[in-house]
Structure 1
């Protein structure tokens, strides 16, 4: 059961018009591709994808599992949106409520075990190792655990384990964390007990795995922790998302997509066939960057990731940035530490990412590390300068006559 209905609120405008798992990652991928590929590469054949928030682009991308070879008579990916209009609920109220509303889907296949995973993390895992550990321990539930920096630990569910790997303490997002062993949001349960406990929890008004379901399992003292030591990132904030993308360009980061066998759906709505090869002009200069097909590069690109169809004109410099599909940057512009959504037009002699790093005034907890985010379909007029930690809303039209200099920390 793949949880893919979350709102990417901390990703601000990147998650406003799409589900968080559908956000572009690494040029040609979507965030959900990592979990889908883990499932497929682990030979798990039945997948229920629980969608909710703005699911259309995600559903089109999944294409019933075909890009991951999860289709046919014995391999199934089924999209499970909320059952709107029924007495039960018009929306999923939480993670366990989403599974509770789809217990019928689980029972249809009579599995021994149920794997519950999130669709918004970047990692590579063979779930068969988790399944073997679960069976070896004769566990009723097993939670995947990873060590995180103690300064970030308050963002996670935290655990303590004994010498036999049994979880003896569980705290959900404590303000003053005492341990750095965090839940990855990957669980495996014995099916019959999961059905029983999720039903009981739902009848009491519980809706969340971490807050409501896991404590009930823990009381039975047969919940174990599976220690994971590989690469894993929760990309739920703009800074975490930017850094995980940059890990694709950093040596020894641990993020090696070519070794992980990550698959994606390269088809896009309104397109027929493949994009052409990328064109590199005589004046282009490329350093430590990832550039997808269909781009036209005539300027300088360094330490950046470009999705298909991006055009970088002459005398333009792009550095430390992530640029989504079909964005056009005109001559003489300088783009630094920026995330630019799809179909943005940046006219000539624009400068983005200059000035002091003042936290965003409207969203100080979202943007404070110098990253500026430009929304989908925006147009930035010529000779405009935009500072650090700025947000330019989707479809915004910035005219140099009305506003030439946009100070750091501004939202427009």
Structure 2
């Protein structure tokens, strides 16, 4: 079944709750797990399922996403035939909602006609899971489904398998049918299509709010969850960066945390995630927090239940104590000083 499925990733997702982290990037490019971006999971799932042609449909702030994915080399998608494609949304308005907007697809309909793959898998960009789409296709063909919706614990994961020819028909007939996306078709009991469900068993988290992002990040600190998500036989790929190992001084203490390359740790880190090139000063305690790339935290600080975006600077003596149900979020490039908290 190699090269029988076309990958389609809707990267237009946006949630108001995540606004502080989406000012300079799309949701698909949101960092997670120390070195990954949200899109890495669905894209790796497709590559591990022998999908060699993937189309990404972005809308908001997608420069960071394109910089992360590049030519697709890290996913073996830099090919002369098929490979990785970007199709930005040409000025769609707020009414174009739902994963896999047919209006968005319609602007690039020729891509679907040029594709040789018989089937297409349409997915959102913000579901963290490790799934093989080949068994989904096998069951889809065996039962004779028109559309297969992938679910977890009975809830839709907003991933749909459909024949490419049927997808083209749905796009072209959208004005007559009123369908705006795959969800509309699946939920219409009178559509006339045979809709099947495929239950995925395993680690699944959908990041659609600050709380979901924060809690998902903490769950990745659990060894069993990590092993369930990051499997040797189906690895999660990401952009490779050449950076030195993290340096831990004699003052440092780290427990149950993810620490990426290039960090410099002098303080105490507990139950937290540190992205690349983060600096933690002396006598500083960090717990239950997510610290993104190149953030600098001074000496004698206390950070609990905090999310720092990229390039944040925390000056000496700062205390930031958030609530696990309402973590403090510091936007990219901000400076937080002790005098600001007094």
Q: Residue 9 of structure 1 contacts residue 16 of structure 1 at CA under 8 Å; is this kept in 2?
A: no
CA contact (8 A) 2:13 2:124 kept: no
Q: Report if the CA contact (8 A) 1:115-1:188 is conserved.
A: yes
Q: Deviations over 1:28-55 (max 9, x none)?
A: 1100000110011111011110011111
Q: 1:376 to 1:145 in 2, by over 3 A?
A: same
User: Counterparts of 1:198 and 1:305 in 2: how far apart (Å)?
Assistant: 42
Instruction: List alignment gaps of at least 5 residues for structure 2.
Output: 1-7
Bigger relative contact order, structure 1 or 2 (CA pairs below 8 A, ≥6 apart): 2
Q: How many residues align?
A: 330
The structure-2 alpha-carbon separation of the partners of 1:218 and 1:334, relative to structure 1 and needing over 3 Å to count, comes to farther
User: Shift in Å at residue 258 of structure 1?
Assistant: 4.8
- Tell me the residue number matched to 1:186: 159
Say whether 1:145 aligns with 2:119: no
Q: How far apart, CA to CA, are the structure 1 residues paired with 2:215 and 2:325?
A: 11
SS at match of 2:224: coil
d(CA) in 2 for partners of 1:221, 1:91: 28
Correspondence for 1:121 among 127, 136, 147: 127
1:19 aligned to which of 26, 34, 38: 26
2:155 counterpart SS class: strand
Partner of residue 209, structure 1: 182
Q: Secondary structure at the match of 1:253?
A: helix
Distance 1:247 1:117 in 2: 23
Q: Does 1:290 align with 2:264?
A: no
Q: Deviations over 1:317-367 (max 9, x none)?
A: 01111100011111100000111101011011111116xx5xxxxxxxxxx
1:176-197: CA deviation from partner (whole Å, max 9, x where unpaired): xxxxx21101101122222222
Tell whether 2:315 aligns with 1:347: yes
Alpha-carbon displacement from aligned partner over 1:92-116 (angstroms, at most 9, x marks no partner): 9232322233221011013321111
Q: Per the alignment, do residues 118 and 218 of structure 1 end up closer, same or farther by CA in structure 2, a change over 3 Å counting?
A: farther
For residues 127 and 215 of structure 1, the distance between their equivalents in structure 2, rounded to whole angstroms, comes to 22
Please identify, of 103-112 and 336-345, the stretch whose mean Cα deviation from structure 2 is larger.
103-112
Q: Take 2:126 and 2:305, find their aligned partners in 1: how far apart are those partners? A: 23
Q: 2:63 aligns with which of 47, 56, 60?
A: 56
| 2:198 aligns with one of 212, 217, 226 | 226
Report what 2:54 is aligned to: 47
Q: Using structure 1 for the length normalisation, give the TM-score.
A: 0.76
Change beyond 3 A, Cα 1:262–1:299: same
> Cα distance, 1:276 vs. partner?
1.6
1:250 counterpart residue number: 222
Query: Is the CA contact (8 Å cut-off) linking 2:211 and 2:326 kept in structure 1?
Result: no
Distance in structure 2 (CA, Å) of the matches to 1:107 and 1:216 = 26
On the 8 A contact 2:292/2:309 being kept in 1, the answer is yes
CA distance in 2 between counterparts of 1:305 and 1:33 reads 18
1:265 aligns with 2:221: no
Normalised to the residue count of structure 2, the TM-score between the two structures is 0.91
> Which of structures 1 and 2 has the bigger CA Rg?
1
Matches within 5 A, 1:278-357: 278-353=246-321, 357=323
Change (3 A) 1:15 1:21: same
1-side partners of 2:187 and 2:297: how far apart?
52
| Cα distance in 2 between the residues matched to 1:116 and 1:320 | 34
Query: What secondary structure is seen at the aligned counterpart in 2 of 1:308?
Result: coil
1:285 and 1:128 mapped to 2: Cα distance? Answer: 44
The reply to whether residue 376 of structure 1 matches residue 332 of structure 2 is yes
Structure-2 separation of matches of 1:64 and 1:202: 35
What do you get for the CA RMSD once the two structures are aligned? Answer: 2.0
